[in-house]
Structure 1
Amino acid sequence: MTAAPADPAPSDEPPVVLRLADCSKTYPGSPPVHALRSADLTVRAGDYLTVVGPSGSGKSTLLNLLGLLDRPTAGTFTLAGVDVAGLPERERTALRGRRIGFVFQEFHLLPYRTARENVALAQLYVTGRAADRDRAATDALERVGLGHRLHALPTTLSGGERQRVAIARALVNEPDLLLCDEPTGNLDSATATTVMDLLGRLNAAGVTLVVITHDPAVAARARRRVTILDGRILAPDEHPGATAAGHPALGKAGAP
C-alpha cells in the first residue's frame, strides 16, 4: 500500500501581496521606449520596501503598474492572488479601490471639504451609508493623530497635517498595500521626519508599504530596498538590522 504524500511544510513567510514576474512596459513610438524591462518583484504582507533610482529610470512606470493605473506590455502581475494584467478596466478599478491606498507628493485634497469629508470620499464605492463613511473617516484620522482636526479645511492645516489627512484617506478602506510616491517631497526636513515616523509606526502595526523615493534618508528607513536603473529592477538590498518601522529610534518618537 502506497503511503499518501505528506502535506508540504507550512511556510513561515507572510502571504504575498503582489508579484511581478518578467513584466515589461514598452511605449509605442519611433523608436519605442522600453520603460520597464523583465521586472521581477515580490512584496509580502507587512513588508516595508523602498524603490530608488535616478530620474527617467522607470520609477513612475513601476508605480503606475503597481497601482493598476497602467498595464504591462508583457509578463504577469498578481495582486492579492488575482492576475490583474488582463482584467477588464471596471474590475481593475474596483480592485484598486479595495486593495491599494495611494499617498502622493501632492496631497490632492479638496480645499472646500473638511479633513473628515476628504477621507470619507474614499469610501464612496465601499458603502452607501454616510454615517458609516463618517465613522470610518474619523477612525482613520484618529489613527494618524488628527482626531482633533476632523472639521478643519485643508487651507487651515500645515503641510504635515495635510499629508496625514492624505495618509488617512489612503488607509480608510484598509488596503492590502500602501503605495507612496515621494511622500515627503513637498515637506521640510522636520515635517518629513514626522511623516516618515508615522509611516514607520503604521508598518510596525502591520501595514504593507512600498515607498518610491529619490531621498536616501527616506530609503534608509525601509527593511528592503530595490534600485531601478534603465528600466531594470536590480537585486534587492536587504537591511536585516532595521526595525519594523525602519528606524532604530522610531519607538522613542512622539505622536506626530
Structure 2
Amino acid sequence: MQREDTAVISLRGIGLTYPGPPPVTALHPCDLQVGQGEFVTIVGPSGSGKSSLLNIVGLLDTPTRGDYFLDGIDTATVSDAQRAALRSERIGFVFQSFHLLPHRSAQENVELAMVYQRVPRAVRRRRAADVLTRVGLGHRVQGLPTQLSGGERQRVAIARALVAEPSLVLCDEPTGNLDSDTASSVLDLLDELHADGMTILVITHDTHVAARGQRTITIRDGALTETRRSEVSTPC
C-alpha cells in the first residue's frame, strides 16, 4: 500500500459518474482535506450527492476519477481484501437506524465490530465494556436494544464505531431518528469525543447539526462549497 504524509482524509479531484445511458454525474470533481482531530459536517438536501460522498469516504464505493488518500494510503492501489481491512480498522460508522442486532446485548453488539479482526474473546469483552462506559452506558452493557431508548441505542452504535480505535468516525444522519433533546445529548457526546482528539465527519440534512462542526461542507447538485466558522462560503 502506497503512503503519503497527509491528512486523515485527502480527496484530490474526486468525482463519481454512474454509467448510462445517459451517464449521471453524482459528484463533480472536488478536493477535500480533513485533518487529524477535526470535526467536519456535510450538509445538503436529498439527492445532492451526500450519500455518494459518504460511500466514497467510507470505502463503500470507488470514485470514477481523482485520488483518495486515507491516513496517507492511496486507496486506489490496495486490493479488495486490503480495502476491507482499511474500512474495518480505520473507519467507525454510525448510522441513522442504529443497525443493532435485537437479540444481542449492548456489549455483544459492540464486540461484533472486532470479530473479523480476530481479537480474542476476552479482549473483545473488556474493550466493549470499556467503550460503553466511555459513552455513558457502563450500567447498560447487558441491555438488549429493545430495552434501550433511542439515545441509548445510538450511544451503543457510537461505542461500536469507537471500539476498534479508528482514525475516523463517519456519521450518517446520526440524529435523524431521535427527538430534539435526545439528539442534543448525542451531539454533546460527539463534541466530547472531538475534544478527546477524535476525527469526526457528520453527514446531515439538518443545519443545526451541521453547526456543531468546526467546518461545514455544503453539497448541492454534486458540487461542494465550504464554510468555516465566521467565514464566508467559498468553493472547495
The amino acid that maps onto 2:169 is L
CA contact (8 A) 2:132 2:156 kept: yes
**Structure 1 match to 2:60:** 69
- What 5-or-longer segments of structure 1 have no aligned partner? 1-13, 242-256
Aligned length: 227
Q: How does 1:33-112 map to 2 (within 5 A)?
A: 33-112=24-103
Residue by residue over 1:1-60, the C-alpha shift from the partner in whole angstroms, topping out at 9 and shown as x without a partner, is xxxxxxxxxxxxx96101000011111111111001112100000001000111111000
For 1:88 and 1:238, locate their aligned partners in 2 and report how far apart those are by CA, in whole Å.
36
Residue 237, structure 1, aligned to residue 223, structure 2: no
Match of 1:164 among 133, 142, 155: 155
Residue by residue over 1:86-122, the C-alpha shift from the partner in whole angstroms, topping out at 9 and shown as x without a partner, is 4221110001101000000010000010000000000
**Structure 2 match to 1:197:** 188
Q: How does 1:98-247 map to 2 (within 5 A)?
A: 98-234=89-225, 236-239=226-229
For 1:237 and 1:211, locate their aligned partners in 2 and report how far apart those are by CA, in whole Å.
14
Deviation at 1:214, TM superposition (A): 0.6
For 1:95 and 1:133, locate their aligned partners in 2 and report how far apart those are by CA, in whole Å.
19
For 1:172 and 1:129, locate their aligned partners in 2 and report how far apart those are by CA, in whole Å.
14
Q: Percent identity?
A: 59
- What 5-or-longer segments of structure 2 have no aligned partner? 232-236
What TM-score comes out, normalization by structure 2 length? 0.94
Corresponding residue SS for 1:85: helix
Larger radius of gyration: 1
- Specify whether residues 78 and 15 from structure 1 end up closer, same or farther in structure 2 by C-alpha distance, changes over 3 A only: closer
Structure 1 residue ranges, 4+ long, deviating more than 3 angstroms after superposition: none
Match of 1:25 among 16, 20, 30: 16
Q: Which shows bigger deviation, 23-32 or 82-91?
A: 82-91
| Bigger relative contact order (CA 8 A; separation at least 6) | 2
CA contact (8 A) 2:44 2:220 kept: yes
**Structure 2 match to 1:11:** none
For 2:77 and 2:45, locate their aligned partners in 1 and report how far apart those are by CA, in whole Å.
30
CA contact (8 A) 1:114 1:154 kept: yes
What TM-score comes out, normalization by structure 1 length? 0.86
